């Protein structure tokens, strides 16, 4: 029986450290994710190679993948619906997730073709900019989903990037219907400002009947609400979710429901790389919530995990480190 069931893009992350000047030459929008085909991804790597840049790190990634990896590494039981290629990258990805304690049905997830990749470009201020070639993940559909995994689960987690993938919408609709029938809470993560800018209609289709929780950052909240006012953004999201969790960098995190809007401080961090911060925050928050913790304790654990993630390269910590943070924060 799983506590958290998620669906998302399975991607192998390749990280590069670079200057703002080189980032400008790539034509990518700083802080956003851009989808690319194989030729565009190759052209990007050519630009990076021209400047003598080599990867600082390569690891399993994907927004929801990072979330379930964090949740499981903390001691939770999670299941991940995804789609990988029958190639070396796919084998690495499945093995990497298994090592973090995440269950994936390889028979459903693995298909002929290439595993998706994500070039993560990290500038000197720690901001991450991404270019993603979805490859086979871009065709994820019902055949890759185990609906039975929802039986007895606490949460169904939907990754915002999938709002850009037409093939998966029927599966997501069926997952939501199954979740509601079984009393499983539906959680949506916006994941990236680009999702709100370019796939808001897709996200709205998930929110149309209301969900239990939304995770996003304040920039995404304001884009969604089309406002520059923090409180207006919060209340706009509460029209679609029972609970809203909004991170805001080093500023306090907002947790709001119909009764109140609360602000919780997060620990300071020496920012090296923001890749995966929000994903890990959501995973740690949901883990603590699944254990019966109050919102302050949930933010305490989530903030501690996220602050450690941004202080190093890569979107995930070693599995043992998650346990050490949990012991320190929750005892």
Assigned token pair, 37: 């085909």
The answer to whether 264 and 302 are in contact (CB under 8 A) is no
pLDDT value, residue 59: 84
Segment 113-117 mean pLDDT: 93
Write the pLDDT tens digit of every residue in 262-309.
Answer: 999 999 988 888 889 999 999 999 999 999 999 999 999 999 999 999
Q: Taking all residues of the chain, what is their mean pLDDT, rounded to a whole number? A: 95
User: Is a pLDDT exceeding 90 seen at residue 313?
Assistant: no
Assigned token pair, 264: 């919780």
pLDDT value, residue 60: 87
pLDDT value, residue 159: 97
Residue 243 dihedral angles phi and psi, to the nearest 5°: -135, 140
User: Is a pLDDT exceeding 90 seen at residue 93?
Assistant: yes
Burial classification of residue 115, based on how many CB atoms lie within 10 Å of its CB (0-12 exposed, 13-18 middle, 19 or more buried): buried
CA 159 to chain centroid, in Å, comes to: 6
Q: How many CB atoms lie within 10 A of CB 183?
A: 9
Long-range CB contacts for residues 168-174, cutoff 8 Å, separation at least 24: 168/7, 168/140, 168/141, 169/202, 169/205, 170/141, 170/142, 171/7, 171/81, 171/140, 171/141, 171/142, 171/144, 171/145, 172/7, 172/206, 174/142, 174/145, 174/147
pLDDT value, residue 148: 96
Cα angle 222, 227, 232; round to 5: 85
User: Is a pLDDT exceeding 90 seen at residue 58?
Assistant: no
Question: Could you give the CA distance from residue 67 to residue 19 in angstroms, rounded to a whole number?
Answer: 28
Segment 74-92 mean pLDDT: 96
Question: Could you give the CA distance from residue 116 to residue 101 in angstroms, rounded to a whole number?
Answer: 21
Q: What band does 199 get if pLDDT is binned at 50, 70 and 90?
A: very high
pLDDT value, residue 197: 94
Segment 79-96 mean pLDDT: 95
pLDDT value, residue 55: 87
Residues 6+ apart with CB under 8 A from 90: 10, 84, 110, 115
Q: How many CB atoms lie within 10 A of CB 330?
A: 16
Please spell the DSSP secondary structure of 158-204, one letter per residue.
EEGGGGG-GGGHHHHHHHHHHHHHHTPEEEEE---HHHHHH-HHHHH
Q: What band does 139 get if pLDDT is binned at 50, 70 and 90?
A: very high
pLDDT over 70 percentage in the chain: 100
Beta bridge partners of 120: 15, 130
Cα angle 64, 66, 68; round to 5: 70
The answer to whether 65 and 8 are in contact (CB under 8 A) is yes
Helix (H, G, I), strand (E, B) or coil at 65: helix
User: Is a pLDDT exceeding 90 seen at residue 329?
Assistant: yes
The answer to whether 219 and 191 are in contact (CB under 8 A) is no
Segment 55-81 mean pLDDT: 94
pLDDT value, residue 136: 96
Residue 229 dihedral angles phi and psi, to the nearest 5°: -100, 125
Q: What is the 3-state secondary structure (H, E, C) of 9-26?
A: CCEEEEEEECCHHHHHHH
Segment 78-105 mean pLDDT: 96
Q: Which of 203, 26, 47 is nearest to 129 (CA)?
A: 26
| CATH architecture of the domain with range 64-111+136-330 | 3-Layer(aba) Sandwich (3.40)
User: Is a pLDDT exceeding 90 seen at residue 57?
Assistant: no
pLDDT value, residue 133: 95
Write the pLDDT tens digit of every residue in 210-237.
Answer: 999 999 999 999 999 999 999 999 999 9
């Amino acid at each position: 029986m799983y506590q958290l069931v998620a669906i998302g893009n399975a991607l192998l992350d390749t990280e590069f450290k670079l200057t703002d000047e080189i980032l400008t030459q790539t034509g990518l929008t700083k802080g956003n994710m851009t989808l690319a085909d194989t030729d565009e991804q190759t052209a990007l790597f050519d630009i990076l190679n021209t400047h003598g840049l080599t990867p600082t790190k390569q690891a399993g990634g994907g927004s929801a993948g990072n979330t379930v990896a964090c949740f499981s590494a903390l001691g939770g039981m999670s299941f991940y619906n995804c789609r990988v290629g029958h190639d070396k990258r796919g084998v690495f990805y499945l093995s990497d997730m298994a090592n973090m304690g995440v269950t994936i049905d390889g028979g459903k997830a693995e298909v002929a073709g290439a595993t998706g990749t994500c070039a993560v470009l990290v500038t000197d201020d720690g901001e991450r900019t991404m270019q993603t070639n979805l490859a086979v993940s871009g065709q994820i559909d019902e055949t890759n989903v185990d609906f039975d995994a929802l039986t007895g689960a606490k949460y169904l987690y939907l990754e915002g990037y999938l709002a850009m993938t037409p093939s998966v919408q029927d599966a997501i609709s069926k997952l939501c219907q199954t979740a509601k029938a079984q009393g499983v809470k539906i959680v949506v993560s916006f994941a990236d400002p680009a999702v709100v800018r370019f796939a808001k209609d897709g996200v709205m289709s998930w929110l149309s009947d209301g969900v239990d929780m939304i995770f996003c950052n304040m920039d995404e909240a304001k884009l969604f609400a089309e406002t520059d006012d923090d409180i207006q953004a919060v209340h706009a999201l509460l029209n679609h979710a029972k609970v809203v969790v909004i991170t805001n960098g080093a500023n306090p995190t907002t947790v709001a429901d119909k009764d109140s809007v609360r602000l919780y401080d997060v620990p300071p961090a020496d920012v090296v790389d923001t890749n995966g911060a929000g994903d890990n925050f959501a995973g740690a928050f949901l883990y603590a919530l699944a254990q019966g913790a109050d919102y302050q304790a949930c933010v305490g654990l989530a903030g501690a995990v996220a602050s450690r993630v941004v202080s190093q390269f890569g979107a995930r910590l070693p599995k043992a480190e998650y346990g050490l943070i949990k012991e320190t924060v929750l005892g």
